[in-house]
């Protein structure tokens, strides 16, 4: 169906004639050694039409007879050639000192294209090409390690958003100039992206106003280009074939507690050992039993029909490979087809994409389909229009629940199952005779059968996204133009949960439930922009932009859940035992703005840009809801005016200053400035309300980020080595803060403007061409960056503290309450267990010291190899997985002789550390030690090893489960073979086959979990993906 429509559109496009045009083709070679150059940019002056040379140095482009072609290639002098009616134009490019760095054009705020050299702030652009081959679930993940200052935290779990922070905060997502505040990373397909421009700072995104206060990630989607029909087919299939990181569990001891276990009824009580994995040793010979092994009753014991007693079964390790036996091979398959065509009057592009993910957990998967159409047309000599519409549908019948707890299959698979259980035996997950009512498992009060979870606890999600824009551009004369743009984002989503009978949650056992939440979202952004530019002389140019904008968004949702199901397994709201519970939310928000920008280019090397913006927003008290804020940026291309040593081919210094105000107190609640009752729960159907204990100040003003940014860009050795350095310092003040006060006042806090923070950081990008021969080329880019946040001023605390953080300290300090001696040794109580402090004590920092990424691209003739590695250095990550493994008894480290002693009833374990023999420690009210007269002696109290682990998790043996977040990951490896032209027989323009590897291996200090996500609350094992990409262009 969709292919028929596509062909029809293509035919339509073909009918547009090219009366005046000719097709020019030729080869491009290096003047130095006559080698063929591939990837040379060929652009028709005055248009955005163009192409690049193929691997054999050939290009072909349809142009007007009088067109001028511009050939440019990194490291070579740009050359302009008039066609003059010729059909063949061969070019020799001179290697040379052309300031390519100065010619780079990037997309800036509001979609305005600017030369990078004119910018006073950092912008880094990532080409969509880099995402064409390697496939990850979202384009955001594809940015991992590629942008200095951008921290992408990839989840190993299926259908979860990657966490992103740019200079320590979450940036705005912009698609084709239209802000997407909802920022669903799944709604845009990587194959539709032409380029991604990352506006790193407050100054860069100042024109987006409050939304852009934390910078922006701007997607520019692909558009039709003037020229002949271009059809592209791109297909990748990746298989999750192995584990990059997988938890390793012990296989020596089974379920139970204190070395004892006997199944009674699955309640976990009594001889079942409370659900622990601290049971008897497995595979122990016992001559007195029929099997020759120790035997005890188990969940699958046959029941003697006469006595009703369970028959003991041998206690042997059937489940050594439970983790691997449960998972299956995941698949990520992406297919896209697009077609584009264009004439002098306009162009258009249509595309269809589909992404299918088969989860590694049985019965999970996600589908994601997109259709888009976009184009532009010269409606009248002075009036042009550009429009794009994308429809996207995400749908999953079931995706796994994450986080520590019974709905997560990992909770039941890694932490709370003994190797006495064979996971494959649990595939029959209903209790015989009680199908649909009672799951079958080795424990019926704490844990769910993982197969039962995968097949019966179903999280469904469907979401329809539409988004797009229409822009009219009216060019009154050469200097003056007016642009009118309307863009929108819309979605409707339906999330539902089917909860089967006997499903075990923390605080209830389900009698079946069905819940559904429906949501509708719509936003529209309208901009009217007037632009005037004038060149007074070569040495003085001015560009004025003035605009008005209106942004409106609306969100509505309804949530309904049953309270029990009358008919088991019939998932409908009307099947509820008690009356269903429902709630709904309606939200609207509006912002109106006026803004202006002045760009001045002076003396041929100085670029000054000033912006100002006035916002009026519905999210503040009316008396303070209008506010103005400015920014300024200066760039000086010193290499254009100074006589520099020959080695320095380009030198630019830049600086910018901005102040951006935001009136959005909460991104999720446009009414956060209004005090209302909260809706309480019902008691026996009697309704209730609760008055908030946070008082909202009527004098709220916008929060402000004041940013200073300084940078240098240097090109060395004819720009073969390039270096870009940025330093920024952001002052966040007038923050919207719940300032706490004594709860005895009747209010626990006041929402007001308070506190001052500083965010400071460095960003480095080094790139270059270590090898640039005619056949073999190696391009490399290395970036690293950091950002930290300090408390500058605690405006409402007379002692200068917020919690335990004092003015001048970093805000990512970690405090632990386990008591430690000054030398770091654990302190024990008289009972031999870990002692605790009344105030948390400083333990380390959570932010990474540095994040880094290194991209390499090698090419040799028709082969190219791309290797991308990245990682972080420093920063502590708390690991719930490891803590629970030690606590529950599945950690391999718990296999010790002490454990055997405990199983035999002996208390032999002495926790490493000290006890206090005399003296005292005193703290001030913020937990600082003001006097410490304690004397210590080694701890000598022997305790039961199992009790010790159940009480302390052995935290002191494992750095209290804070692990260094440092890692190096082999993120992507792509080996591409570009088919030689002679094979294509004019069927294809180009064709390539690639072998792809993703997430291939990791070096890290953290056991059992992948530190990529920068947090661990029981994560899916990190999988290695290997696959193939095929790219065909017709």
Partner 1 sequence: MKRYSQIFFLVFILAFLSSCSKFEDFQVNPNNPTVADPSLLLPAIERSAFSAISADAALASRYLVYTQSASNAQYYGWQRSGMGYGSITQVVKMEQEAARTGKLNYRYIGKFFRAYFIINMTQTFGDIPYSKMMQSAEFSNFSDSSAIRPPYDKQQDIYHGVLDDLKIASDSLDAGQIAIGGDIIFGGNIERWKKLVNSFTLRVLMSLSKKEADASLNIRQRFNDIVSNPSKYPLMSANNDNGQLPYYNITGNQYPYFNNNSMKTDYYLDSTFVDILQEFQDPRLFVFGKPAPASPLPATDFDAYDGLGGSAPLAYNTAKRGAGMASQIADRYSYEAINEPSVLMSYAELQFILAEAAVRGWITGDADVFYKNGIKASMRFSNFNNTYSEDDMDDYISQPGITLQPGNEIEQIITQKYISMFMNSGWQPFYEQRRTGFPEFETSGSGILNGGIIPKRWMYPTDEYNNNRVNVENAVKSQYPGGDNINGTMWILQ
Q: Which of residues 95-124 bind partner 1 (CB under 8 A)?
A: none
Site mask for partner 1 (CB under 8 A), range 523-562, x = bound:
---x-x-------------------x-x-x----------
Closer by beta carbon to partner 1, 323 or else 551: 551
495 to 185, 399, 518, 550, 618: CA distances (angstroms): 17, 11, 7, 31, 29
Three-state DSSP class for 171?
coil
Among 153, 393, 616, 861, binds partner 1 (CB under 8 A): 616
Q: DSSP per residue over 779-815, as a string?
A: EEEEEEEEEEEEEEE-TT-TTSEETTEETTSBTTEEE
Closer by beta carbon to partner 1, 201 or else 512: 512
Three-state DSSP class for 948?
helix
717 φψ region: left (φ > 0), alpha (ψ -120 to 50), beta (else)? left
Site mask for partner 1 (CB under 8 A), range 446-465, x = bound:
x-------------------
Closer by beta carbon to partner 1, 545 or else 857: 545
Residue among 726, 645, 539 nearest 119 (CA): 726
Among 675, 897, 931, 940, binds partner 1 (CB under 8 A): 675
Interface stretch with partner 1, choices 24-32, 419-427, 677-685, 1016-1024 (CB under 8 A): 677-685
Within positions 793 to 822, which residues make up the interface with partner 1, using CB under 8 A?
A: 797, 799, 801, 803
Interface stretch with partner 1, choices 27-35, 62-70, 643-651, 829-837 (CB under 8 A): 829-837
Site mask for partner 1 (CB under 8 A), range 891-910, x = bound:
-----------x--x-x---
Within positions 348 to 367, which residues make up the interface with partner 1, using CB under 8 A?
A: none
Give min distance, CB of 179 to partner 1, in A. 17
d(CA 410, CA 322): 11
CB-based contact 272:262 (threshold 8 Å): yes
Within positions 744 to 783, which residues make up the interface with partner 1, using CB under 8 A?
A: 744-748, 750
332 to 155, 240, 326, 658, 728: CA distances (angstroms): 15, 8, 19, 43, 39
Within positions 52 to 91, which residues make up the interface with partner 1, using CB under 8 A?
A: none
Q: How many CB atoms lie within 10 A of CB 160?
A: 18
- Tell whether residue 20 is a contact of partner 1 (CB under 8 A): no
Closer by beta carbon to partner 1, 532 or else 801: 801
d(CA 199, CA 633): 14
Closer by beta carbon to partner 1, 640 or else 669: 669
Token readout for 910 is 């002495």
Give min distance, CB of 259 to partner 1, in A. 8
Among 836, 897, 935, 1005, binds partner 1 (CB under 8 A): 836
Token readout for 884 is 């629970």
Report the C-alpha dihedral over residues 126, 129, 132, 136, rounded to 10 degrees. Answer: -10
Size of residue set near partner 1 by CB under 8 A: 110
Rg over alpha carbons for the chain, rounded to the nearest Å, is 32
Within positions 268 to 297, which residues make up the interface with partner 1, using CB under 8 A?
A: 268-275
Closer by beta carbon to partner 1, 242 or else 800: 800
Site mask for partner 1 (CB under 8 A), range 947-986, x = bound:
x--xx-----------------------------------
Task: Write the burial class of residue 693 (CB in 10 Å: 0-12 exposed, 13-18 middle, 19+ buried).
Answer: exposed
Give min distance, CB of 600 to partner 1, in A. 28
Within positions 576 to 615, which residues make up the interface with partner 1, using CB under 8 A?
A: 578, 581, 584-590, 592
Give min distance, CB of 564 to partner 1, in A. 8
Give min distance, CB of 534 to partner 1, in A. 22
Give min distance, CB of 184 to partner 1, in A. 23
Closer by beta carbon to partner 1, 105 or else 690: 690
d(CA 173, CA 179): 6
Within positions 374 to 433, which residues make up the interface with partner 1, using CB under 8 A?
A: 379-383
Closer by beta carbon to partner 1, 288 or else 685: 685
- Tell whether residue 678 is a contact of partner 1 (CB under 8 A): yes
Interface stretch with partner 1, choices 130-138, 667-675, 979-987, 999-1007 (CB under 8 A): 667-675
Closer by beta carbon to partner 1, 261 or else 461: 261
Give min distance, CB of 453 to partner 1, in A. 16
Among 618, 738, 825, 880, binds partner 1 (CB under 8 A): 618
Closer by beta carbon to partner 1, 671 or else 988: 671
d(CA 319, CA 326): 11
- Tell whether residue 712 is a contact of partner 1 (CB under 8 A): no
CB-based contact 878:849 (threshold 8 Å): no
Within positions 182 to 221, which residues make up the interface with partner 1, using CB under 8 A?
A: none
Three-state DSSP class for 322?
helix
1032 to 234, 557, 801: CA distances (angstroms): 6, 43, 61
- What is the distance of C-alpha 509 from the center of its chain? 34
Interface stretch with partner 1, choices 82-90, 112-120, 232-240, 666-674 (CB under 8 A): 666-674
Task: Write the burial class of residue 595 (CB in 10 Å: 0-12 exposed, 13-18 middle, 19+ buried).
Answer: buried
Among 18, 233, 239, 484, binds partner 1 (CB under 8 A): 484
Give min distance, CB of 503 to partner 1, in A. 11
Residue among 31, 26, 40, 45 nearest 100 (CA): 40
Within positions 233 to 262, which residues make up the interface with partner 1, using CB under 8 A?
A: 256-260
Give min distance, CB of 850 to partner 1, in A. 33
d(CA 202, CA 89): 46
Work out whether strand 458-475 and strand 383-398 pair parallel, antiparallel, or are unpaired: antiparallel
Closer by beta carbon to partner 1, 385 or else 821: 385
Give min distance, CB of 149 to partner 1, in A. 34
3-state helix/strand/coil string of 505-526: CCCCEEEEEEEEEEEEEEEEEE
Within positions 680 to 699, which residues make up the interface with partner 1, using CB under 8 A?
A: 680-691, 693, 695, 697
- Tell whether residue 940 is a contact of partner 1 (CB under 8 A): no
Give min distance, CB of 742 to partner 1, in A. 4
d(CA 256, CA 278): 5
Within positions 496 to 525, which residues make up the interface with partner 1, using CB under 8 A?
A: 504, 506-509
Among 120, 128, 375, 670, binds partner 1 (CB under 8 A): 670
- Tell whether residue 741 is a contact of partner 1 (CB under 8 A): yes
Q: How many CB atoms lie within 10 A of CB 637?
A: 23
d(CA 175, CA 469): 9
d(CA 89, CA 76): 18
Closer by beta carbon to partner 1, 225 or else 820: 820
Residues 6+ apart with CB under 8 A from 900: 281
* CA count, 13 A, side-chain hemisphere, 286: 17
Work out whether strand 1022-1033 and strand 227-245 pair parallel, antiparallel, or are unpaired: antiparallel
Closer by beta carbon to partner 1, 287 or else 622: 622
Closer by beta carbon to partner 1, 574 or else 681: 681
CB-based contact 882:958 (threshold 8 Å): yes
């Amino acid at each position: 169906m969709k292919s028929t429509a596509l062909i029809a559109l293509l035919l339509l496009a073909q009918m547009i004639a090219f009366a005046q045009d000719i097709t020019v083709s030729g080869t491009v070679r290096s003047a130095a050694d006559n080698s063929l150059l591939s990837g040379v940019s060929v652009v028709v002056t005055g248009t955005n039409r163009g192409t690049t040379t193929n691997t054999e140095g050939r290009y072909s482009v349809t142009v007007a007879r009088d067109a001028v072609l511009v050939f440019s290639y990194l490291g070579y002098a740009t050359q302009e050639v008039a066609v003059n009616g010729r059909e063949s134009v061969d070019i020799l490019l001179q290697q040379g000192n052309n300031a390519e760095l100065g010619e780079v054009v990037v997309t800036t705020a509001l979609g305005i294209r600017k030369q990078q050299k004119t910018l006073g702030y950092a912008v880094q652009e990532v080409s969509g090409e880099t995402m064409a081959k390697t496939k990850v679930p979202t384009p955001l993940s594809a940015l991992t390690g590629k942008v200095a200052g951008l921290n992408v935290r990839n989840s190993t779990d299926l259908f979860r958003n990657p966490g992103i922070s740019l200079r320590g905060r979450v940036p705005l997502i912009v698609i084709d100039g239209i802000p997407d505040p909802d920022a669903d990373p799944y709604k845009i397909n990587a194959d539709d992206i032409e380029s991604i421009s990352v506006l790193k700072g407050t100054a860069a995104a100042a024109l987006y106003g409050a939304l852009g206060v934390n910078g922006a990630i701007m997607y520019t989607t692909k558009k039709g280009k003037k020229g002949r029909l271009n059809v592209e087919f791109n297909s990748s299939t990746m298989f999750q074939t192995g584990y990059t990181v997988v938890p390793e569990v012990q296989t020596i001891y089974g379920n139970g507690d204190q070395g004892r276990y006997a199944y009674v009824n699955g309640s976990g009580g009594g001889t079942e050992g409370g659900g622990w994995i601290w049971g008897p040793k497995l595979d122990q010979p016992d001559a007195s039993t029929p099997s020759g092994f120790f035997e005890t009753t188990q969940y699958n014991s046959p029941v003697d029909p006469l006595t009703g007693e369970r028959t003991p079964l041998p206690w042997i390790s059937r489940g050594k490979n439970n983790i691997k036996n449960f998972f299956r091979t995941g698949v990520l398959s992406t297919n896209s087809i697009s077609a584009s065509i264009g004439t002098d009057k306009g162009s258009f592009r249509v595309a269809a994409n589909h992404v299918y993910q088969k989860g590694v957990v049985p019965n999970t998967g996600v589908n994601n389909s997109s259709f888009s159409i976009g184009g532009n047309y010269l409606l009248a000599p002075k009036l042009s229009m550009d429009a794009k519409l994308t429809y996207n549908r995400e749908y999953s019948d079931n995706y796994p629940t994450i986080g520590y707890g019974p709905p997560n299959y990992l909770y039941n698979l890694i932490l709370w199952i003994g190797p006495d259980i064979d996971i494959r035996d649990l595939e029959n997950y209903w209790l015989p005779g009680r199908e649909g009512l009672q799951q079958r498992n080795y424990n019926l009060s704490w844990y769910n059968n993982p197969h039962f979870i995968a097949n019966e606890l179903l999280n469904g999600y469907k979401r329809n996204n539409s988004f797009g824009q229409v822009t009219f551009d009216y060019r009154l004369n050469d200097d003056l133009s007016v642009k009118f743009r309307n863009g929108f984002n819309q979605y409707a989503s339906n999330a539902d949960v089917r909860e089967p009978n006997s499903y075990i949650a923390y605080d209830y056992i389900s009698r079946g439930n069905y819940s559904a939440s429906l949501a509708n979202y719509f936003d529209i952004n309208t901009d009217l922009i007037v632009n005037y530019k004038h060149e007074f002389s070569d040495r003085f140019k001015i560009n004025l932009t003035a605009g008005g904008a209106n942004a409106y968004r609306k969100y509505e949702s309804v949530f309904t859940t049953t309270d029990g199901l009358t008919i088991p397994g019939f998932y409908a709201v009307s099947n509820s035992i008690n009356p269903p519970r429902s709630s709904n939310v309606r939200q609207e928000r509006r912002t109106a703005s006026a803004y202006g920008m002045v760009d001045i280019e002076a003396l041929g090397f100085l670029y000054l840009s000033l912006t100002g913006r006035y916002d009026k927003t519905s999210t503040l008290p009316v008396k303070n809801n209008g506010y103005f804020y400015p920014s300024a940026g200066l760039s000086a291309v010193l290499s254009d005016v100074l006589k520099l040593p020959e080695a320095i081919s380009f030198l630019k210094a830049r600086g910018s200053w901005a102040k951006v105000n935001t009136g959005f107190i909460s991104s999720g609640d446009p009414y956060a400035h209004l005090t209302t009752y909260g809706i309480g729960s019902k008691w026996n159907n009697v309704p209730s309300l609760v008055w908030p204990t946070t008082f909202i100040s009527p004098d709220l003003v916008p929060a402000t980020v004041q940013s200073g940014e300084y940078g240098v860009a240097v090109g060395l050795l004819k720009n073969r080595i390039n270096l870009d350095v940025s330093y920024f310092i952001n002052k966040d003040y007038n923050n919207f803060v719940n300032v706490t006060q004594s709860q005895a006042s009747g209010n626990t806090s006041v929402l007001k403007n308070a506190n001052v923070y500083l965010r400071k950081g460095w960003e480095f990008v080094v790139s270059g061409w270590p090898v640039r021969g005619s056949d073999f080329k190696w391009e490399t880019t290395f970036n690293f960056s950091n950002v930290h946040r300090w408390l500058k001023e605690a405006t409402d605390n007379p002692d200068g503290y917020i919690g335990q953080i004092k003015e001048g300290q970093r805000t990512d300090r970690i405090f632990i309450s386990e008591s430690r001696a000054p030398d770091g040794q654990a302190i024990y109580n008289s009972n031999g267990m870990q002692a605790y402090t009344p105030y948390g004590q400083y333990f380390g920092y959570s932010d990474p010291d540095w994040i880094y990424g290194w991209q390499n691209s090698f090419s040799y003739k028709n082969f190219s190899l791309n290797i991308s590695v990245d990682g972080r250095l420093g920063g502590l990550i708390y690991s719930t997985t490891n803590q629970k493994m030690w606590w529950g008894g599945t950690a391999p480290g718990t296999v010790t002789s002490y454990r055997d002693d405990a199983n035999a009833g002996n208390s032999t374990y002495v926790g490493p550390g000290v006890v206090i023999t005399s003296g005292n420690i005193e703290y001030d009210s913020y937990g600082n030690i003001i006097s410490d007269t304690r004397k210590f002696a080694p701890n000598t109290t022997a305790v039961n090893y199992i009790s010790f682990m159940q009480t302390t998790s052995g935290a002191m043996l494992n750095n209290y489960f804070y692990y260094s977040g440092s890692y190096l990951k082999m993120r992507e490896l792509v080996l591409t073979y570009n088919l030689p032209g002679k094979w294509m027989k004019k069927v294809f323009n180009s064709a390539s086959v690639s072998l792809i590897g993703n997430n291939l291996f990791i070096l890290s200090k953290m056991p059992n979990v992948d530190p990529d996500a920068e947090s661990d609350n029981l994560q899916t094992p990190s999988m290695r993906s290997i696959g193939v990409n095929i790219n065909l262009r017709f």
